[in-house]
C-alpha cells in the first residue's frame, strides 16, 4: 500500500499544496504554508466515498419557519451585537488583542447567564481554575453558578459534555490551545485549530448548546488560524479598543441571526467591563467647543447613531515631505480629502503636517465622516473654531460636492437629544429621496459644495439654505 503523501496548508486562506513554498500562490501571503499530517488510508483498499449512505431529502422554498429562540445574557450591549441574545446550537467566535478584555467579557456574560438559572460551562486552556476564580472575585462574580475547568485535550472535553445534557452555554478560551491526538501537529497549528473547531461545532449542533470560542489575533489584527474558521462559525465578533482609553467596542463582523456592523460599547473599570448606554455623551464628555480644528461627527454604527469628535492639527513643515498621521480613520481617504480641499477650495495645505484623530478610540469607517473631517481641517487651517452646537455628516465627492448618506433622521435625532442646535448636511435633490423629519429644536444647514463650508467656518456669512423640513 502506498504511503499517503504529505500536504501543506496556508494558514491565511486554507489552500492546500503538495509541497512547501515560501509564498502562497492563492492569497500571496509569505511564510504561511504549514505541513499537514497525511490522512490514514482506508482499510481493505477502499476508496474515499465508496461507502453508500442514505439519500438526503429536498424541500421547496414555500413555508415559514419560526425565528430562532434567543437566550438573553442580561448584558444589553452584548445582546445588542448578537441580535437579541444567544441562539441555541449557535457558534460565536470572539477575537481581539491580548489583554483587551475578551476573557473578562465572556466571564461576565457566562455569570449573568448562570444567574438566570442556565447551566454554563467555562473551559480555559490558558489559565488555571484558581486564576479564573481570582478574576471572578475581582469582578464580584463568585456567587454565580458556573462550572469551571482547565483543559486542552479535546477528547476529554467532548466526553465531559455528556455530564451536562442541559448546558446552555459552553465557553472555550481559547480555540488555539485545544488539541486532539487524532492530528499529528502542534497545538495552535492550522490543522489542530481546524480539527478542534470542527469537533466542537459538531458537538454544539448535536447537543443544542451555544458555543463561544475565543480566538487569538495576528499582529495585523486579523483572527489567527485558518481563514475557514470564520466561515465555520455563525457569529464573528471583534473586541476593539485602545489600551490608552477606557472604552471598548464589541463589533459584529458576521452574524447569521442578526444585523452585521452592530456595536456594543463598554468601559473598562476596576470592577470589569461596564455597559455604556449612551456612548455619544461619553465620547463628547471632555470636548472643548472653543478650540479650532474640532468638529462633531454624527455617525452611525450598525443601527446605532454615535456622535464623536473629529480633531485635526496642522503644523508648518517648510522643508522635506509633510507628514500625514491618522488615528481612527482611513489614511487614504484623508489624502483624497486634502487634495479636494487644495484643488477645489484653494486651501494651501501641502506644506503642513496633518494630524487627524477620532477622540475616544473609536474607529470610523463610513464615508459620511468626510464633511466632519473637512470641517475640522478647514477650522484648523483658518484657526477659527467651528460652531460648538453644530454636528456634521455627509460624503464628499472628488469635485467637492456633498452627497447624501443613509439614516439621516437617526443622526439628527441623536444630535437633538444631546442638545445640539444645528446640523450641517448635504443638500437634498428635488424629487429625490423621501422627506426627512427634522427635530423642532434643530436647524438644518444644507451645504452643496465644500466652498460653502469654507465660507461658513471662515466668515460666518455664507450660509446655505436653512430648512426645518427639507424635501
Q: Point out the domain boundary residue: 258, 276, 294.
A: 276
Question: Could you tell me if residue 63 is inside a domain?
Answer: no
Q: Which of 227, 192, 191 is nearest to 9 (CA)?
A: 191
- 39-54 pLDDT, tens digit per residue, is 555 454 445 555 556 7
Q: How is the beta sheet containing 390-392 ordered, strand by strand?
A: 324-327, 352-358, 304-316, 294-301, 390-392, 422-426, 443-447
Give buried/exposed letters for 406-426 (b at 16+ CB in 10 A, else e): eebeebbbbbbbbebebbbbb
| Number of domain units in the chain | 3
**Contact between residue 459 and residue 425 where contact means Cβ atoms under 8 Å apart:** no
What's the CA gap between 353 and 318, in Å, rounded? 10
- For residues 399 and 369, state if they share a domain: yes
- For residues 132 and 162, state if they share a domain: yes
DSSP of 127-167: S-HHHHHHHHHHHT-TTS-EEEEE--BHHHHHHHGGG-TTE
Q: What's the pLDDT score for residue 304?
A: 87
Q: What's the pLDDT score for residue 2?
A: 52
Cα dihedral 380, 385, 389, 390 sign: negative
Q: What's the pLDDT score for residue 225?
A: 65
Q: Point out the domain boundary residue: 276, 306, 324.
A: 276
Would you call 458 exposed, middle or buried from its count of C-beta atoms within 10 A (0-12, 13-18, 19+)?
A: middle
Total residue count of the chain as it appears in this document: 471
Indicate which CATH number applies to the domain containing 389. 3.30.230.10
Question: Could you tell me if residue 154 is inside a domain?
Answer: yes
Q: What's the pLDDT score for residue 433?
A: 47
- For residues 212 and 262, state if they share a domain: yes
- For residues 337 and 454, state if they share a domain: yes
Supply the pTM of this predicted model.
Answer: 0.78
- For residues 392 and 332, state if they share a domain: yes
What's the CA gap between 331 and 352, in Å, rounded? 16
Q: Residue 152: give the domain boundaries.
A: 76-276
Q: What's the pLDDT score for residue 38?
A: 63
DSSP of 406-455: S-HHHHHHHHHHTT--EEEEEPPPTTSSPP----TT-EEEEESBHHHHHH
Q: What's the pLDDT score for residue 468?
A: 42
Q: Which of 333, 335, 337 is nearest to 345 (CA)?
A: 337
Q: Point out the domain boundary residue: 248, 276, 304.
A: 276
- For residues 133 and 209, state if they share a domain: yes
What's the CA gap between 433 and 428, in Å, rounded? 8
In sequence order, what are the beta bridge partners of 302?
Answer: none
- For residues 18 and 145, state if they share a domain: no
Q: What's the pLDDT score for residue 318?
A: 79
What's the average pLDDT block by block, 10 residues per block, for the chain (471 residues)?
A: 68 80 86 72 50 77 82 92 94 91 94 92 95 94 93 94 94 92 81 91 95 85 74 92 80 90 88 88 82 93 90 88 92 94 90 92 90 95 91 95 91 92 84 68 91 80 40 38
Q: What's the pLDDT score for residue 302?
A: 81
Phi and psi at residue 216, in whole multiples of 5°? -75, 165
| Cα 465 off chain centre by | 37
Amino acid at each position: 500500500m502506498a504511503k499517503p503523501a504529505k500536504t501543506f496548508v496556508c494558514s491565511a486562506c486554507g489552500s492546500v499544496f503538495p509541497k512547501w513554498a515560501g509564498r502562497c500562490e492563492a492569497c500571496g501571503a509569505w511564510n504561511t504554508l504549514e505541513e499537514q499530517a497525511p490522512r490514514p488510508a482506508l482499510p481493505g483498499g477502499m476508496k474515499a466515498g465508496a461507502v453508500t449512505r442514505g439519500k438526503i431529502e429536498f424541500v421547496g422554498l414555500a413555508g415559514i419557519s419560526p425565528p430562532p429562540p434567543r437566550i438573553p445574557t442580561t448584558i444589553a450591549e452584548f445582546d445588542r451585537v448578537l441580535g437579541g441574545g444567544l441562539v441555541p446550537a449557535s457558534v460565536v467566535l470572539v477575537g481581539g488583542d491580548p489583554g483587551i478584555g475578551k476573557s473578562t467579557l465572556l466571564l461576565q456574560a457566562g455569570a449573568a447567564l448562570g444567574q438566570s438559572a442556565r447551566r454554563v460551562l467555562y473551559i480555559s486552556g490558558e489559565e488555571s481554575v484558581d486564576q479564573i476564580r481570582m478574576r471572578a472575585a475581582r469582578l464580584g462574580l463568585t456567587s454565580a453558578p458556573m462550572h469551571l475547568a482547565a483543559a486542552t485535550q479535546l477528547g476529554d472535553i467532548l466526553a465531559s459534555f455528556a455530564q451536562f445534557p442541559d448546558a446552555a452555554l459552553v465557553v472555550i478560551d481559547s480555540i488555539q490551545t485545544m488539541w486532539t491526538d487524532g492530528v499529528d501537529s502542534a497545538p495552535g497549528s492550522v490543522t489542530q485549530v481546524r480539527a478542534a473547531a470542527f469537533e466542537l461545532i459538531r458537538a454544539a449542533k448535536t447537543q443544542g448548546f451555544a458555543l463561544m470560542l475565543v480566538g487569538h489575533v495576528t499582529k495585523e489584527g486579523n483572527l489567527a488560524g485558518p481563514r475557514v474558521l470564520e466561515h465555520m462559525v455563525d457569529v464573528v465578533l471583534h473586541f476593539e479598543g485602545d489600551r490608552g482609553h477606557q472604552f471598548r467596542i464589541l463589533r459584529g463582523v458576521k452574524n447569521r441571526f442578526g444585523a452585521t456592523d452592530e456595536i456594543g460599547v463598554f468601559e473598562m473599570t476596576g470592577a470589569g467591563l461596564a455597559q455604556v448606554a449612551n456612548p455619544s455623551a461619553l465620547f463628547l464628555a471632555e470636548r472643548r467647543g472653543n478650540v479650532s480644528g474640532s468638529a462633531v461627527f454624527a455617525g452611525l454604527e450598525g443601527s446605532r447613531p454615535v456622535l464623536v469628535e473629529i480633531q485635526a492639527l496642522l503644523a508648518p513643515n517648510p522643508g522635506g515631505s509633510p507628514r500625514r498621521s491618522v488615528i481612527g480613520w482611513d489614511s487614504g481617504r484623508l489624502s483624497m480629502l486634502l487634495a479636494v480641499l487644495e484643488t477645489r477650495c484653494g486651501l494651501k495645505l501641502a506644506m503642513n503636517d496633518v494630524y487627524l484623530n477620532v477622540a475616544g478610540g473609536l474607529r470610523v469607517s463610513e464615508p459620511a465622516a468626510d464633511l466632519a473631517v473637512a470641517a475640522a481641517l478647514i477650522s484648523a487651517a483658518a484657526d477659527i473654531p467651528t460652531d460648538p452646537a453644530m454636528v456634521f455628516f455627509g460624503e464628499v465627492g472628488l469635485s467637492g460636492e456633498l452627497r447624501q448618506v443613509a439614516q439621516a433622521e437617526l443622526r439628527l435625532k441623536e444630535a437633538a437629544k444631546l442638545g445640539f442646535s444645528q446640523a450641517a448636511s448635504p443638500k437634498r435633490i428635488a424629487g429625490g429621496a423621501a422627506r426627512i423629519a427634522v427635530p423642532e429644536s434643530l436647524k438644518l444647514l444644507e451645504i452643496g459644495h465644500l466652498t460653502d463650508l469654507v465660507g461658513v467656518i471662515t466668515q460666518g456669512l455664507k450660509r446655505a439654505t436653512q430648512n426645518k423640513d427639507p424635501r
